[in-house]
Structure 1
Amino acid sequence: MAGNGVASIGECMLELSGQAGPNWRMGFAGDTFNTLWALHALSGDRPATYVSAFGDDPFSRDQIDFFARNGIGIGASPIIPGARPGLYAITLTGAERSFTYWRGDAAARQLASDAVALAKSLENQALVYFSGITLAILDDAARKTLLAAVAKARAAGSLVAFDPNYRPRLWGQREEAQTAILDALAVTDIALPTFPDEQMLFGDAAPQKTAERLRKLVGEVVVKNGEEPALIATSGTLQPVPAVHVAAPVDTTGAGDSFNGAYLAARLAGHAPTEAVLRAHRVAAAVVQVRGALAPFETLSAAFED
Structure 2
Amino acid sequence: MTGNGVASIGECMLELSGQAGPNWRMGFAGDTFNTLWALHALNSDRPATYVSAFGDDPFSRDQIDFFAQNGIGIGASPIIPGARPGLYAITLTGAERSFTYWRGDAAARQLASDTAALAKSLENQSLIYFSGITLAILDDAARKTLLAAVAKARAAGSLVAFDPNYRPRLWRRREEAQTAILDALAVTDIALPTFPDEQMLFGDAAPQKTAQRLGKLVGEVVVKNGEEPALIAASGTLQPVPAVHVAAPVDTTGAGDSFNGAYLAARLAGQAPTEAVLRAHRVAAAVVQVRGALAPFETLRAAFED
Same fold by TM-score, threshold 0.5 exceeded?
yes
Q: Is residue 120 of structure 1 aligned with residue 157 of structure 2? A: no
| Contact 2:16-2:24 at 8 Å conserved across structures | yes
Distance in 1 of aligned mates of 2:291 and 2:203: 32
Q: Is residue 96 of structure 1 aligned with residue 96 of structure 2? A: yes
After superposition, the C-alpha distances for 1:201-236 in whole angstroms (9 at most, x for unaligned) are 000000000000000000000000000000000001
- Name the structure 2 match of 1:261: 261
Structure 1 unaligned blocks of 5 or more: none
**How much has 1:44 moved relative to structure 2?**
2.8
| Contact 1:18-1:292 at 8 Å conserved across structures | no
Distance in 2 of aligned mates of 1:42 and 1:19: 29
Distance in 1 of aligned mates of 2:137 and 2:26: 22
**How much has 1:18 moved relative to structure 2?**
3.4
**How much has 1:182 moved relative to structure 2?**
0.1
| % same residue | 95
- Name the structure 2 match of 1:84: 84
| Contact 2:129-2:161 at 8 Å conserved across structures | yes
| Contact 1:18-1:291 at 8 Å conserved across structures | no
Instruction: Find runs of 4+ consecutive structure 1 residues off by over 4 angstroms.
Output: none
RMSD (CA atoms): 0.5
SS in 1 for 2:295: coil
Distance in 1 of aligned mates of 2:158 and 2:301: 25
| Contact 2:18-2:89 at 8 Å conserved across structures | no
After superposition, the C-alpha distances for 1:93-143 in whole angstroms (9 at most, x for unaligned) are 000000000000000000000011000000000000000000000000000
Distance in 2 of aligned mates of 1:22 and 1:303: 33
| Contact 2:85-2:103 at 8 Å conserved across structures | yes
SS in 1 for 2:293: coil
Distance in 1 of aligned mates of 2:91 and 2:18: 8
Distance in 2 of aligned mates of 1:151 and 1:232: 24
| Contact 1:133-1:164 at 8 Å conserved across structures | yes
**How much has 1:55 moved relative to structure 2?**
0.2
Distance in 2 of aligned mates of 1:18 and 1:45: 34
Normalised TM-score (structure 2)? 1.00
Distance in 2 of aligned mates of 1:293 and 1:71: 18
SS in 1 for 2:271: coil
Normalised TM-score (structure 1)? 1.00
- Name the structure 2 match of 1:194: 194
Query: How many pairs align?
Result: 306
SS in 1 for 2:19: strand
Distance in 2 of aligned mates of 1:180 and 1:236: 25
